[in-house]
A and B are shown apart, each in its own frame.
Chain A
Amino acid sequence: MPVITFIEFDGTQHQVDSESGLSVMEMAMKHDIPGIDADCGGSAVCGTCHCFVETSSELAAVEPQEESMLGLRPDREANSRLSCQLQVSEQGGDMTIRLPEYQM
Chain B
Amino acid sequence: MNQAVTRKDGLPDPLSTPLDQLDVADPRRFEFDTWQPLFERLRSESPIHYQAEGPGGPAPHGDFWSVTRFEDIVEVEKNWEAFSSEPSIAILDPEPDMSVQMFIATDPPLHDDQRRAVQGAVAPRNLQEFEAVIRQRTQETLDGLPVGETFNWVDRVSIDLTTKMLATLFDFPQEQRHLLTHWSDAATSDARITAGRGLSIDERRAIMIEMLQTFTELWHQHKANDRESFDLIRMLQRDPKTENMVDEPLSYLGNLMLLIVGGNDTTRNSMSGGVLHLHDNPSEMAKLKANPSLIPSMVSEIIRYQTPLPHMRRTATRDVEINGTVIPKGGRVVLWYVSGNRDADAIPNANEFIIDRPNVRNHLSFGMGIHRCMGNRLAEMQLRIVWEEILERFEGIEVVGPAVRTCNSFVRGYHELPVRLHPRI
Interface hits, B46-100 → A, CB 8 Å: 74, 77-78, 80
Please tell me if B124 contacts chain A, counting CB pairs below 8 Å. yes
The reply to whether B125 and A101 form a contact with Cβ atoms under 8 Å apart is yes
Interface of B is mostly: helix
Q: How many A-B residue pairs have CB under 8 A?
A: 57
The reply to whether A45 and B119 form a contact with Cβ atoms under 8 Å apart is no
The reply to whether B377 and A40 form a contact with Cβ atoms under 8 Å apart is no
Which of A38, A43, A102, A103 has a CB less than 8 Å from the CB of B368? A43
Please tell me if B359 contacts chain A, counting CB pairs below 8 Å. yes
Q: Which of A16-24, A51-59, A65-73 lies at the interface with chain B? A: A65-73
Question: With A45-B78, A72-B370 in contact, do A39 and B362 touch (Cβ < 8 Å)?
Answer: yes
Contacts of A40 in B (CB 8 A): 74, 362, 368
Cα–Cα, bound, A37→B380 (Å): 13
Interface hits, B358-385 → A, CB 8 Å: 359, 361-362, 366, 368-370, 372, 374, 376-377
Contact residue range for chain B? 20 to 34
Contacts of A65 in B (CB 8 A): 78
Which of A45, A68, A104 has a CB less than 8 Å from the CB of B124? A104
**What count of chain A residues pass the 8 Å CB interface test?**
20
Please tell me if A74 contacts chain B, counting CB pairs below 8 Å. yes
Please tell me if B112 contacts chain A, counting CB pairs below 8 Å. yes
Please tell me if B115 contacts chain A, counting CB pairs below 8 Å. yes
State the A residues within 8 Å of B (CB): 37-41, 43-47, 65, 68-69, 71-72, 74, 101-104
State the B residues within 8 Å of A (CB): 74, 77-78, 80, 108, 112, 115-116, 119-120, 122-125, 359, 361-362, 366, 368-370, 372, 374, 376-377
